[in-house]
Amino acid sequence: MEAYLLNLGVLISLYAILAVTLNFIMGYAGIYSLAHAVFFGTGAYAGASVALNFSASIFVMVPTAMLCAAALSLLLALPALRVRGEYFVAASLGLQVLAVTVFAEWKAVTGGIGGLIGIPPVDIAGFEIYSPGSFFILSLVTLAAVVAITRLLVRSSFGRSLKAIRDSESAALAFGKNIALIKTTSVVISAALAAIAGSLYAAYMSFINVESFMLDTSVLIMAMVIIGGTGTQLGPIVGAALLLILPGALSYLSFLPQTEIGSIQQILYGLGMAVLMIFRPGGIVGRGRAETGEGEA
């Protein structure tokens, strides 16, 4: 039981990292990306490759993963500079589909659909971390660090510039802000931080394949942010916890027929998403509609 809760805790922490980093560009820069799973995946594959071939040390694995994701994120920054709103969403969707194809076909690195197996546990100064208990602490500490970093950034002058761009690009331009640089930097930071979650995920699961990094995952992360509350500090974490606990909790409803439980879970998950958006569009933590941010073209 304890291990089950710890396992859930690890997953929540890792997904919370993803949600927090996505919230960083969604909530503060107005960049609504449907490609966050790409950086999650890039981090996971990069981390796993390093761990399998060179060293499982966290100080080698994580930075490499971050670098790879940061480099790739320039592909997302490109459309972010050119278009807004639904056009950008579609562009990020395109990137997501392309990335899934590459994940599934670049067999030398990703193992194809079969994925990578036997990824060694992460190593911190000679200690191997793989039990749910110790890994939970590691992921929690990482989450805290990521939250601290984004919080610091949001409150700095960089964060103020971001919000200025989100609210009105032309006004920000008039104030002499370098919009291209600020937007690109925010995308790069977000992707690099998401890659940390990816590499830890790979080490924890010891198995990854493309199915964990598909469009559904991107939507799930986005749903976590929006359901929790876009542009809030706590929202993404609450959203991640809620969406990961819900399916597990549902499987305890023993009066449901076992064969249909999977479908019922999915139906409730889907309906829950819709109902929350209808009655609480600002998210659970959100203070109302002012915080949701508009994504119009």
Shortest gap between Cβ of 142 and another protein (angstroms)? 19
Quote the CA–CA distance of 57 and 272 in Å, as a whole number: 40
Which of 101, 167, 173, 181 is the binder for another protein (CB under 8 A)?
101
Structure tokens that stand for 7 in this block: 């396992």
Q: Judged by CB under 8 A, does residue 171 bind another protein?
A: no
Quote the CA–CA distance of 230 and 244 in Å, as a whole number: 18
CB within 8 Å of 196: residues ≥ 6 apart: 17, 43, 62, 65, 66, 142, 146
89: number of Cβ within 10 Å:
19
> Beta-strand (E) ranges in 90-195?
116-117, 122-124, 127-129
Per-residue string for binding with another protein, 63-82, x by CB under 8 A?
---------------xx--x
Per-residue string for binding with another protein, 11-50, x by CB under 8 A?
x--------------x-----x------------------
Of 57-65, 142-150, 155-163, 250-258: span binding another protein (CB under 8 A): 250-258
Quote the CA–CA distance of 216 and 50 in Å, as a whole number: 26
In the complex with another protein, which residue's Cβ is closer, 58 or 210?
Answer: 210
Cα-to-chain-centroid distance, residue 47: 16
Shortest gap between Cβ of 235 and another protein (angstroms)? 12
Q: Judged by CB under 8 A, does residue 261 bind another protein?
A: yes
Per-residue string for binding with another protein, 176-215, x by CB under 8 A?
-----------------------------xxxxx-xx--x
